[in-house]
Amino acid sequence: MNKEIVTALGKPEAERKFETLLKHLSHPPSFTTVRVNTHLASVQHVKNLLLDELQKQFNGLSVPILQHPDLQDVLLIPVIGPRKNIKKQQCEAIVGAQCGNAVLRGAHVYAPGIVSASKFMKTGDVISVYSDIKGKCKKGAKKFDGTKVFLGNGISELSRKEIFSGLPELKGMGIRMTEPVYLSPSFDSVLPRYLFLQNLPSALVSHVLNPQPGEKILDLCAAPGGKTTHIAALMHDQAVQLLKPEGVLVYSTCTITLAENEEQVAWALTKFPCLQLQPQEPQIGGEGMRGAGLSCEQLKQLQRFDPSAVPLPDTDMDSLREARREDMLRLANKDSIGFFIAKFVKCKST
């Protein structure tokens, strides 16, 4: 555990925050976020189309859609759940962790994601769907008693025999989720010209960059894996020289670790004195985390999205009707995926 954090918080509080974070990461964000393609239609027009789609998917439930006040091209849809009164069925299907994550966020179950199914599962059966979070279930098993998380109920679109027939071309929907623990819209083929499913912090990054007409934008959309480190080696770590004086560099990750976030910022500032941190606009996330030796002022110039910053929500239709818009927007800004943004500018004199 990081010494700077332990010194500031004390070991018991640091451990409590870590356990809280782990618990939050096992639940989906409180809002589904979509970005509107404003080149093709107005946000209001797309919002109206999406309201009609939600009415169909949710059998008439009036779930509100909010336009984000700072990110005008972003729409927010509240997630209802966890729903605790869903009756579990005898017939079960097990899906992998990646498929399970998608189901928690509104997806149906597609055939390639099904790892196991009950022995006599037929097309049209009501199925309880579980996620094998530790990856221990064997492909094609008829029963699984390992660690699993209940995702909800659905209707089987394929029989067990069809799913495990061995046909490599088997695709399409395997289970249509009808009673998910978390009620989120499915965006499979929903307004594909107008909407892009994107987490809130990811949509924020381009606004922080704030590209202007005539500027050249270089998007290095890659994690620090084999290809990126290879490129860095071939360039002799000279990439900062690509940035023109007064040019802006935005660094973002979809992680919450110090090693990939604040420590990278500290390294860049030390390695390249020509770089300076800049305030970000809009500022939606929290400030950076202690532990990398950055000053309080520098931490305030970062944006860190930590899902454990708010209590786990328990949302139903009654609470949605009573919720104030400003409270919902505040929750949407806080309860998202883990994310980090830093904005640098290259000094003019370099």
Determine how β-strand 173-180 pairs with β-strand 303-305. Answer: unpaired
pLDDT of 16 strictly over 90: no
pLDDT of 31 strictly over 60: yes
- Reported as a pLDDT band with limits 50, 70 and 90, residue 333 is very high
- Read out DSSP for 109-175? EEGGGEEEE-TT--TT-EEEEEEETTS-PPTT-S---SS-EEEEEEEESS-HHHHTS--TT--SEEE
pLDDT of 65 strictly over 90: yes
Domain containing 307: what range?
200-346
> Do 100 and 219 lie in a common domain?
no
Higher pLDDT, 151 or 3: 151
pLDDT tens per residue, range 114-170: 999 999 999 999 999 999 999 999 999 999 999 999 999 999 999 999 999 887 778
Asked if the structure places residue 163 within a domain, the reply is yes
Q: What mean pLDDT do residues 99-107 have?
A: 96
- Alpha-carbon dihedral angle through residues 185, 188, 190, 192, given to the nearest 10 degrees: 130
Specify the pLDDT at position 323: 94
Which of 140, 171, 197 terminates a domain? The answer is: 197
221 among annotated binding-site residues: yes
- CB burial of 39-48 (b: ≥16 within 10 Å; e: otherwise) equals eebebeebbe
Specify the pLDDT at position 5: 74
> Do 284 and 163 lie in a common domain?
no
- Reported as a pLDDT band with limits 50, 70 and 90, residue 23 is confident
CATH number at residue 54: 3.30.70
> Do 241 and 116 lie in a common domain?
no
> Do 251 and 342 lie in a common domain?
yes
Q: Is 56 exposed, middle or buried (0-12, 13-18, 19+ CB in 10 A)?
A: exposed
Q: Tell me what the pLDDT averaged over the chain comes to.
A: 91
CATH number at residue 321: 3.40.50.150
222 among annotated binding-site residues: yes
> Do 205 and 306 lie in a common domain?
yes
Total of domains in the chain: 3
pLDDT tens per residue, range 230-245: 555 555 556 577 788 9
pLDDT tens per residue, range 193-227: 999 999 999 999 999 999 888 888 877 765 555 65
29 among annotated binding-site residues: no
Which of 180, 214, 248 terminates a domain? The answer is: 180
> Do 173 and 251 lie in a common domain?
no
> Annotated catalytic sites, by residue?
254
Tell me the CA distances in angstroms from 233 to 31, 39, 340, one per residue in order.
40, 39, 25
- Read out DSSP for 148-159? -EEEEEEEESS-
CATH number at residue 134: 2.30.130.10
Asked if the structure places residue 14 within a domain, the reply is no
> Do 252 and 176 lie in a common domain?
no
Specify the pLDDT at position 71: 96
Proportion of the chain above pLDDT 70, given as a percent: 94
> Do 277 and 328 lie in a common domain?
yes
pLDDT of 13 strictly over 80: yes
> Do 68 and 127 lie in a common domain?
no
> Do 57 and 35 lie in a common domain?
yes
Asked if the structure places residue 20 within a domain, the reply is no
> Do 208 and 315 lie in a common domain?
yes
Q: What mean pLDDT do residues 305-333 have?
A: 93
223 among annotated binding-site residues: yes
Proportion of the chain above pLDDT 90, given as a percent: 75
Asked if the structure places residue 23 within a domain, the reply is no
Asked if the structure places residue 54 within a domain, the reply is yes
pLDDT of 228 strictly over 60: no
Specify the pLDDT at position 224: 56
Asked if the structure places residue 342 within a domain, the reply is yes
> Do 341 and 248 lie in a common domain?
yes
With a threshold of 0.75, does the pTM exceed it? yes
Specify the pLDDT at position 233: 54
Asked if the structure places residue 290 within a domain, the reply is yes
Specify the pLDDT at position 231: 53
Which of 197, 222, 252 terminates a domain? The answer is: 197
- Reported as a pLDDT band with limits 50, 70 and 90, residue 9 is confident
Asked if the structure places residue 87 within a domain, the reply is no
**Least-confidence region, from 16-20, 266-270, 327-331:** 16-20
